[in-house]
């Protein structure tokens, strides 16, 4: 087992422990089938169906998740994203309808975040290789070389032809900040179509809760402690479910993927301006809303934007709340987030 596999395996075990705590944070629900966990989209994906669960529904969900991975992963050379990247500066590429929709949404979030979220960040992501077998801290020159290749405005979308064209050669898309959310929504759609009334989908921390709890009480979801292992929480969010409706909780933070070099912690969410991991006093940002793709894009966007601009963006979007955890262990939240801090090291600060 190479070191990366070993560390993935360790992460898997830690996740199983963490997941146990997450699930135990959800108050009683009768479970007809055990959860199902698989490694996909570069992370650990767990789906728990309550009531009316069948193996066929689980299979449908995981087949869909793998289909999305095959279309959107930069690590699969035949994926739509790899084909678009290979044709950068050369020719538009006809792609799958769902991938087109995700790229369209990625461009939308790039626009409303003023480029803090930028799906053309591919070259920078591979230069650092934080999620790869050979992560490293690149030189300033290397970073300066790839920065000009990041610009979402150079993505040309043709809706009629269903094609995507990256205008300049060597540009590269990376949907790592949005694809898990899209996959979680797709899983929720399958669950709802199958008539399963309540479920928990957890794709590496992109959580979707469908429906309401049997006793109609609020779902309780732990917010990950951003400086501890998975499964350690700073507090609990109470989220009232509704029949036939999904709620989603998505976190972007410094401890999901990172490398340490010379005592410095380098995480995986980059500022498209500097080319270095975004640094603005935040340890994590959690978004609570109804659509997981939106939450995924927003958690990354807000993490890069920082607290003031990020909060303003969230407050401009309906039915969307956020929790911000800072390096000094203070915590801020938007008005509609129902959060109780359970770890004394962290404190909720009510001022804006």
How many other C-beta atoms can be found within 10 angstroms of the C-beta atom of residue 168?
Answer: 12
How far, in Å, CA of 319 to CA of 337, rounded?
10
Closest distance between Mg ion and the C-beta of residue 284, in Å? 11
Residue 238 in tokens: 């109470």
Strand partners, 200: 48, 209
- Residues 6 or more apart whose Cβ sits within 8 Å of residue 189: none
Phi, psi of 269, deg, nearest 5: -110, 115
Among 26, 182, 219, 270, binds ligand AMP (CB under 6 A): 270
Contact call for residue 300 and ligand AMP (CB under 6 A): yes
Is 226 a residue that touches ligand AMP (CB under 6 A)? Answer: no
Closer residue to ligand AMP in complex, CB, 48/286: 286
Taking a C-beta distance cutoff of 8 angstroms, is the pair 93, 87 a contact?
yes
Q: Which is nearer to Mg ion, 196 or 301 (CB)?
A: 301
Q: Under a CB-based contact definition with an 8 Å cutoff, are residues 7 and 20 in contact?
A: no
Residues with Cβ within 8 Å of 19's Cβ and at least 6 positions away in sequence, in order, are: 35, 37, 44, 46, 202, 231
The correct pick among 57, 121, 236, 314 for binding ligand AMP (CB under 6 A) is 121
- Residue 299 binding ligand AMP, by CB under 6 A: yes
Residue 53 contact partner, candidates ligand AMP, Mg ion, none, CB within 5 to 8 A by sort of partner:
none
Stretch that binds ligand AMP, among 43-51, 138-146, 235-243, 263-271 (CB under 6 A): 263-271
Residue nearer to Mg ion on the CB measure, 164 or 177: 177
Q: Is 124 helix (H, G, I), strand (E, B) or coil?
A: helix
| DSSP-derived 3-state class of residue 343 | coil
Contact flag: residue 252 with ligand AMP (CB under 6 A): yes
Smallest distance from the beta carbon of 205 to ligand AMP, in angstroms? Answer: 8
**118 is a contact residue toward ligand AMP (CB under 6 A):** yes
Residues near ligand AMP, by CB under 6 A: 117-119, 121, 125, 131, 174, 176-177, 252, 256-257, 268-270, 272, 296, 299-300, 304
């Amino acid at each position: 087992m190479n070191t990366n596999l070993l560390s993935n395996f360790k992460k898997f075990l830690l996740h199983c422990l963490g997941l146990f705590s997450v699930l135990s944070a959800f108050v009683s629900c009768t479970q007809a089938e055990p959860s199902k966990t698989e490694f996909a989209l570069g992370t650990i994906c767990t789906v728990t169906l309550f009531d009316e669960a069948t193996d066929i529904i689980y299979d449908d969900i995981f087949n869909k998740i793998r289909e999305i991975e095959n279309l959107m992963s930069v690590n699969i050379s035949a994926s739509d994203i790899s084909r678009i990247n290979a044709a950068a500066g050369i020719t538009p590429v006809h792609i799958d309808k769902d991938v087109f929709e995700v790229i369209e949404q990625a461009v939308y979030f790039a626009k409303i975040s003023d480029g803090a979220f930028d799906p053309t960040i591919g070259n920078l992501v591979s230069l650092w290789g934080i999620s790869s077998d050979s992560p490293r801290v690149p030189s300033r020159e290397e970073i300066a070389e790839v920065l000009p290749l990041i610009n979402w405005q150079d993505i040309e979308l043709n809706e009629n032809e269903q094609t995507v064209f990256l205008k300049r050669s060597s540009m590269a898309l990376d949907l790592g900040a949005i694809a898990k959310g899209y996959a979680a929504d797709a899983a929720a759609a399958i669950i709802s179509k199958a008539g399963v009334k309540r479920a928990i989908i957890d794709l590496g921390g992109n959580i979707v809760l469908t429906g309401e709890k049997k006793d109609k009480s609020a779902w309780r979801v732990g917010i990950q402690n951003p400086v501890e292992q998975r499964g350690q929480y700073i507090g609990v969010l109470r989220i009232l479910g509704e029949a036939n409706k999904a709620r989603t909780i998505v976190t972007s933070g410094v401890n999901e993927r990172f490398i340490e070099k010379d005592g410095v912690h380098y995480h995986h969410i980059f500022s498209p301006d500097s080319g270095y991991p975004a640094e603005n006093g935040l340890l994590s940002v959690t978004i609570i809303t109804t659509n997981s793709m939106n939450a995924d894009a927003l958690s990354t966007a807000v993490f890069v934007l920082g607290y003031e601009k990020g909060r303003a963006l969230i407050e401009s979007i309906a039915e969307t709340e956020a929790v911000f955890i800072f390096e000094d262990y203070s915590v801020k939240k938007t008005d509609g987030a129902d959060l109780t801090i359970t770890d004394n090291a962290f404190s909720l600060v009510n001022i804006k």
